Amino acid sequence: MKITDIKTHLLQVPLMEPFHIALGVITDVTSVLVEVQTDEGITGYGEGAPGVLITGENLEGTEASIRLFREKLIGTDPRDLEKVNAIMNRASYQAPTAKAAVDIACHDIAAQAAGMPLYRFLGGMDKEIETDMTVGIAEPEKMAAKAKLHVEHGFNVIKTKVGIDTATDIARVKAIREAVGSGVKIRLDANQGWSPKQAVEIIARLNEYDIELVEQPVPRFNFEGLKYVTAHSSVPIMADESCWDSKDALRLVSERAVDYVNIKLMKCGGLYEARKIVSICEAAGVECMLGCMVEESGIAVTAAASLGAALKNITRADLDASFSLAKLPFEGGFTVEDTRHLVLSQAPGLGITGLRREMLTSREAK
Ligand code: MG
């Protein structure tokens, strides 16, 4: 089997409402959907959603990188995932979002060719995963009302964004806990918003509200600071922006700098690299969460959910991105049960049967 073409389609649609985090505001789903075509008639679907606040990538750059990979990958067997990733890594040291798009599509093809849904191809038998629901930064009462609504709809875990200012962060978490009651898990994400000492102090005060974990309390480059917070907090600490790829994961777990790691396909470059992170973490006794970019439209979420369902060291999921779109730009993929469970298709691969092309801007490769 050989890759004969890689087509890109751009999606840019407003979120149902803007999403505020410590790093800024996200207003749109911005994503490059790819179709990897083969000489055997199998088409694989992938998605690269650049989270400009997190990865610093954008739509145009992601599309340009995919075009570069296209030149190098035509003629390659897409089932040779080692080779596909080696070619992309040689072509560009960076561009994880573009790599993720192509890597997901090639996994889709490999699983289709094997006649298995992707989660089975990845080695698992579970076909569903429970996701949390995230509340963006706003006034405490507004966040509490949102969290309550999500719980009423069926979510058991609320992830809430903090990291702006201490007094209001505490008021935010207090209001949410009072609104949702004691049976619901609350996880926090500071998106690098605190200094190490500030983080230790705030987390100690927040612990009164029964916090499950805190994601990325300090700036991404501050591994020593992350280690300090982990050592001085009774609440488990999770790395997100500090863990890009398997090399970051190795450093974080070797230095015992974190309790958990949040993997995103757009940070690490796809399923191939994500599996390495999971293995490194598992060997160190560190559990993983699978996250997503707010900008994702759902194809990458389907891939992440497949990995999360398959691998037992992925114990948490923050795969709520597709809930922020009124309509998804593809047919098939996962379905949602009881509000919070992403249930994977039994069809081979990702189970995506086609793109809703009226939502996309397609460009011919040059
Ligand atoms: Mg995060």
Tell me, what's the pLDDT at 343? 97
- Catalytic annotation on 264? yes
Catalytic residue among 146, 161, 227, 267: 161
Rounded to the nearest angstrom, the distance between the alpha carbon of 236 and the centre of ligand 1 is 14
- Catalytic annotation on 215? yes
Rounded to the nearest angstrom, the distance between the alpha carbon of 241 and the centre of ligand 1 is 7
Tell me, what's the pLDDT at 365? 55
- E strands, 103-243, are 128-130, 133-135, 157-161, 185-189, 211-215, 237-239
Rounded to the nearest angstrom, the distance between the alpha carbon of 338 and the centre of ligand 1 is 24
Rounded to the nearest angstrom, the distance between the alpha carbon of 240 and the centre of ligand 1 is 5
Tell me, what's the pLDDT at 159? 97
Ranges of the chain whose pLDDT falls below 70? 364-366
- Catalytic annotation on 161? yes
Tell me, what's the pLDDT at 119? 98
pTM over 0.85: yes
Tell me, what's the pLDDT at 364? 64
pLDDT digits (tens, 9 = 90+) for 110-149: 999 999 999 999 999 999 999 999 999 999 999 999 999 9
Rounded to the nearest angstrom, the distance between the alpha carbon of 80 and the centre of ligand 1 is 31
Catalytic residue among 103, 212, 240, 248: 240
Which residues surround the ion ligand 1 when the cut-off is CB under 5 Å?
Answer: 189, 215, 240
Rounded to the nearest angstrom, the distance between the alpha carbon of 79 and the centre of ligand 1 is 31
Residue 60, token pair as written in the block: 């145009």
Rounded to the nearest angstrom, the distance between the alpha carbon of 327 and the centre of ligand 1 is 24
Tell me, what's the pLDDT at 362? 82
Tell me, what's the pLDDT at 244? 97
d(CA 56, CA 7): 23
Catalytic residue among 103, 189, 295, 320: 189
Q: Which residue pairs, CB below 8 angstroms and at least 24 apart, start in 228-232?
A: 228/196, 228/197, 228/200, 229/196, 229/199, 229/200, 229/203, 230/256, 230/257, 230/258, 230/259, 232/200
For 193-224, b/e burial (b = at least 16 CB within 10 A) is bbebebbbebbeebeebebbbbbbbbbbebbe
Residue 246, token pair as written in the block: 């398997």
- Catalytic annotation on 240? yes
Dihedral in degrees, nearest 10, Cα atoms 168, 169, 175, 179: 150
Tell me, what's the pLDDT at 53? 87
Residue 306, token pair as written in the block: 């497949």
- Catalytic annotation on 197? no
Catalytic residue among 35, 132, 169, 215: 215
Tell me, what's the pLDDT at 293? 94
